[in-house]
Amino acid sequence: MTLETAMQERDRMMEEMNAEVVSPLGFTRGQLQDAFNVLTKGMENWKDPIVKVIRKDEFVIMREACSFFTGSFLEVEKEKGDFFIVSAEGYYMAIGS
């Protein structure tokens, strides 16, 4: 197998993984990854506790993404207009590290 073939196979496998529904609410891994990337943007380490301002309409998918990737639960701390301030304990705390 050449390097190019191996890279093509890896890309094909990633596409399949990202298309798989992994959430009880019907979200795919790719959708959750995109939401989690937004949720953790600007963080030095995605495994740390999370505090973020998000739009209300993003909450459901971000809650699912946070649970899927960190094992912790995203909670609304405060509501202001069309936005929530949310927080989660993060991966390290969820696994007891």
- Hey, where are the domains in the chain? 3-94
The secondary structure of 21-42, three-state, reads ECCCCCCEHHHHHHHHHHHCCC
Sign of the four-CA dihedral 44, 28, 93, 90: positive
Q: What's the mean pLDDT in 35-59? A: 97
- Per-residue pLDDT at 27: 98
**In 40-82, which ranges are continuous DSSP H helix?**
59-70
Percent of the chain with pLDDT over 90: 81
pLDDT tens, 60-97?
Answer: 999 999 999 999 999 999 999 999 999 999 999 999 98
Would you state the torsion angle of the CA atoms of residues 54, 57, 63, 64, taken in this order, to the nearest 10 degrees?
A: -140
Q: What's the mean pLDDT in 14-37? A: 94
> pTM of the predicted model, to two decimals?
0.85
- Per-residue pLDDT at 1: 76
Please state, in angstroms and rounded to a whole number, the distance separating the CA atoms of residues 84 and 65: 16
